[in-house]
Amino acid sequence: MDLLTEYIEFWQDKYDSILSYMWEHLVISFVVMLLSIVFTVPLAIYMTKMKNERIKGLIFNIANVFQTIPTVALLAIMIPLLGIGFRPAVAALFLYALLPLLRNTYTGIQSIDPSIVEAAKGMGFSTFGRLFKVELPAALPYVMSGIRVTTVYIISWTTLAALIGAGGLGDLILAGIGYNDKHMIFTGTILAIVIALLMDFVFHRFEKNYSKA
């Protein structure tokens, strides 16, 4: 009971700052995912129409290279280029988000039965009509799987962005380590996990509701 009382008192004392850390974390994660989806999904769709396999392989290899760089190292690389804070954190995490989103969207579009596309052509659908009414809905499970997995990763990796002054729940964890405060460490960690699980649930519900529509 003493531990629970201490923890409740900790929340009462630090409530405002905890919400501030959480808001910073959400903003970084949201911006990264928005930029990644806006950039990667159209690129993956364009790649499915490309005839040059070497260029497609090159794009995948470049995206894969970013995945092999340790997170802390990539964040550090961004400091000489973009300084410290929000911008380098978003840039580094954006590069990490490329591969899973690119791969899943590409795979989803490629997995569509060609006869379905031909039937849509026969029904008079334009290129954009086929894309938005046939191809993307059919590929949605793959696309949403990539978004869900990437979102969980990004929310987790955003905790490391505190190392370059970007804020977020990582700041709370680092402060807890510095002050040897288990409540701060526990709170930062648990909130990051809860946010990741909540976002995964939201995207899962969206996918199910869209599939039923």
Q: For residue 180, how far is the Cα from the chain centroid?
A: 30
Q: What is the pTM of this model?
A: 0.87
| Tokens matching residue 1 | 């009971």
Find the range with the poorest average confidence among 7-11, 18-22, 115-119, 138-142: 115-119
Check residue 210 and give its pLDDT.
Answer: 65
Tell me which of 46-60, 98-112, 118-132 is least confident: 118-132
Q: How confident is the model at residue 78 (pLDDT cuts 50, 70, 90)?
A: very high
Phi/psi-derived region of residue 139, left when phi > 0, alpha when psi is between -120 and 50, beta in every other case = alpha
Determine the Cα–Cα distance for residues 68 and 204; give it in Å rounded to an integer.
Answer: 28
Residue 127 reports pLDDT greater than 80: no
What is the structure's pLDDT at 80? 92
Between CA 28 and CA 45 the distance in angstroms is 26
3-state secondary structure of 63: helix
* pLDDT score at 3: 77
Q: Does residue 55 have a pLDDT over 60?
A: yes
Residue 75, judged by CB atoms within 10 A of its CB (0-12, 13-18, 19+), counts as: buried
Task: Report how many helices (DSSP H) and strands (DSSP E) the chain contains, helices first.
Answer: 9, 0
Q: Measured between alpha carbons, how far is 153 from 88 in angstroms, rounded to an integer?
A: 17
The encoded tokens of residue 7 equal 């923890």
Query: How confident is the model over 192-211, as a mean pLDDT?
Result: 83
Mean pLDDT score of the chain = 86
Q: Distance between CA 118 and CA 19 in Å, rounded?
A: 52
The answer to whether residue 1 scores a pLDDT higher than 70 is no
Locate 211 and state its tokens.
């599939």
Task: Tell me what the mean pLDDT of segment 9-36 comes to.
Answer: 91
pLDDT at 213: 55
Residue 119 has what pLDDT?
77
pLDDT band at 211 (very low <50, low <70, confident <90, very high): low
Kindly report, residue by residue over 148-180, the tens digit of the pLDDT.
888 988 998 899 889 898 889 999 999 999 888
70-90 average pLDDT score: 91
Average confidence (pLDDT) over 126-145: 78
Q: Is the dihedral of CA 20, 26, 28, 34 positive or negative?
A: negative
The pLDDT value given to residue 188:
93
What amino acid occupies position 100?
P
CA separation for the pair 99, 153 (Å, rounded): 12
Average pLDDT over residues 39-50: 88
